[in-house]
Amino acid sequence: MYKLFRKTASSKGNVVENFTEEKNLDNLSIISDNPITLLKDDTLGRAEVSQSFAQQILSLDTRSGIVVGVLGPWGSGKTSFVNLARNEIKSAGLTILDFNPWMFSGAEQLVESFFNELSAQLKLKTELSELGKELEEYGEMFSGMAWVPFIGPWIERGRGTVKIISKVLQKRKEGVGGRRKKIEKLLRDLNKNIVIVLDDIDRLSTSEIRDIFKLVRLTANFPNIIYILAFDRVRVEEALSEQGIPGRDYLEKILQVTVDLPAVPSQVLAT
């Protein structure tokens, strides 16, 4: 059973619409547990649901940004599901950026890599290169100095490094607000959505999971930005729980749309 949930604001408060679709998993076989990318490789019968999910994303009001969750236990095929939806999203002309936080570690490296990876992908597209540059500089305002090649007594050896530090400090003086407004204007002027996919979040340590969600909160309300976050709900809720506040409450404030994938039956995996 697949369950798609969408929270929509109304004058009476939040309204939750439930969409369900049943799929029979009997007599199915899986050749490999590697993520799939093509509809023809869908042995779990999820193609139709993934296409419906993609269409729902394309219909969202993204003027204030949207965060979507693809949730399920480890081995439930979250990456494959996102890949199937990705094809539909791309065919609609949207730009998709990917960031896998599992490839990095530590708060500082996550922050820097997040902005650097996304900006690098944007710069590859001519019409998005200016946005990529602004996003990279925006990210520099939230990172420390650990990336600087010369630190402490070695710093005097490189005048170029001193200039780099001066530039970063000057940008910080400009303020986050000013830099943010530039990015918001560029995104509104694009007049189309950008999708950012964050996968394997549940493989991170507890502190890293919290850092990722801080990054999402930092940029989630940019106009025309859609986040797709794939993770194990139980693992992430556990990591976000703190001082008696359930992690689920935290997620409820971040995720506007969610799809919960069922675990793949063991008999299917064994076939």
Cβ-based neighbour number of residue 170 at 10 Å = 9
In 3D space, the residue among 259, 217, 255 whose CA is nearest the CA of residue 7 turns out to be 255
Question: Is 13 within a domain?
Answer: no
pLDDT category of residue 26 using cuts at 50, 70 and 90: very low
Higher pLDDT, 200 or 3: 200
By DSSP bridging, strand 194-198 and strand 95-99 are parallel
Supply the CATH number for residue 247's domain. Answer: 3.40.50.300
pLDDT of amino acid 214: 87
pLDDT of amino acid 43: 76
Return the beta strands (E) in the chain as ranges. 2-10, 13-21, 66-71, 95-99, 194-198, 225-231, 257-260
Using CA atoms, how far apart are residues 62 and 22, in angstroms rounded to an integer?
Answer: 29
Using CA atoms, how far apart are residues 116 and 147, in angstroms rounded to an integer?
Answer: 12
Using CA atoms, how far apart are residues 124 and 104, in angstroms rounded to an integer?
Answer: 22
pLDDT category of residue 105 using cuts at 50, 70 and 90: low
Question: Is 17 within a domain?
Answer: no
Q: Measured between alpha carbons, how far is residue 145 from residues 35, 85, 107, 109, 162 in Å?
A: 37, 39, 13, 11, 12
Q: Provide the 8-state DSSP code for 245.
A: B
Coil, helix or strand at residue 254: helix
Higher pLDDT, 235 or 157: 235
pLDDT category of residue 164 using cuts at 50, 70 and 90: low
Which range of residues forms the domain containing residue 135?
A: 2-6+28-269
Strand partners, 99: 198
Write out pLDDT tens, residues 245-268: 899 998 988 999 999 998 876 655
pLDDT of amino acid 85: 93
For the chain, the average pLDDT equals 78
Is the pLDDT at 232 greater than 50? The verdict is: yes
Question: Is 35 within a domain?
Answer: yes
Question: Is 125 within a domain?
Answer: yes
Write down the number of H helices and E strands in the chain: 10, 7
Using CA atoms, how far apart are residues 103 and 110, in angstroms rounded to an integer?
Answer: 9
Question: Is 14 within a domain?
Answer: no
Give me the number of domains the chain comprises.
1
Write out pLDDT tens, residues 168-188: 556 555 567 888 899 999 999
Question: Is 12 within a domain?
Answer: no
Question: Is 19 within a domain?
Answer: no
Which residues are CB-contacts of 187 (< 8 A; sequence separation ≥ 6)? 131, 194, 222, 223, 224, 225
pLDDT category of residue 14 using cuts at 50, 70 and 90: very low
pLDDT of amino acid 33: 60
Question: Is 11 within a domain?
Answer: no
pLDDT of amino acid 71: 95
Using CA atoms, how far apart are residues 212 and 117, in angstroms rounded to an integer?
Answer: 14
Percentage of residues of the chain with pLDDT beyond 90: 42
Using CB atoms within 10 Å of the CB of residue 12, give its burial: 0 to 12 exposed, 13 to 18 middle, 19+ buried. exposed
pTM for the structure as a whole: 0.75
